[in-house]
Amino acid sequence: MKKLFIVLIISVVVMQSCVTSLQPLATYDTAIVDDRLAGTWNSDGQDYEVQKFIDSDLFKYIKKEMDKYKGNADKPLSEKEMEDFSPTLYFKSYVIKYTKDKIEYVMFGSMVKLNDQFFINFAPIDINTDKNKGQAFEIPSTDRLATHTIARVQFTNSNTVKLDFIDGGYLHDQIKAGRMKIKNETDELYDTFLITASTNELQQFFQKYGNDDRFFNKENSVTLIRKS
């Protein structure tokens, strides 16, 4: 229950007023890593740390756990653990960390390039922030429902990056009017909207509409200024 509560908090903070997708926009074969995205950033007084996965504290933790298994021949990796430690989309992703109200939030970010434009999808990572027990990371398991939020990435220069999140209201209105088509589930009672299209369908959708500025929520655009 505690882990689910953490996921819900991250989802509300990061994805508020944005569109969420059941499937990621990037795959291991299509994800790219761009050195310009790594670093420490600030936006409106909030600091964000972006690390390549292989350079992150999360990867160091996983490697340490792997080394423990290697040192114990009587403790082989389970099938599930082998899945988590094998090269996946995570190895072509970023780990994004920030602290708000003394709570540290950690997310995966996976970037893809479509029609010469960059897009990134974010997904929350479970994390234990009990300082008395030390910090332990857990990659979200495949049997738990995870959602992704998507933003367009614009590199203004080496020290400025702009993230434009999808305008959920505009997209929903276009879908209801029949002007845009993408698989989704809508609950009018609870005012929720979830894109259920496959990754391939998502990529085709962004290739078609990614140049339309009306598609992005200007109020939820985030401009990151590099600190280091």
Summarised one tens digit per residue, pLDDT across range 139-158 is 554 444 578 999 999 999 98
Q: Which helix (H) or strand (E) holds 226?
A: strand 222-226
Q: What are phi and psi of 100, to 5 degrees?
A: -140, 130
pTM across the whole model = 0.79
Average pLDDT over residues 42-55: 93
- Measure the CA dihedral 177/178/179/183, to 10°: 120
**Site of tokens 């910090």:** 135
pLDDT tens profile 84-103: 555 678 889 999 998 888 88
* Residue pair 205/158 in contact by the 8 Å Cβ criterion: no
Distances (CA, A) of 99 to 104, 105, 125, 162, 206: 4, 6, 14, 20, 31
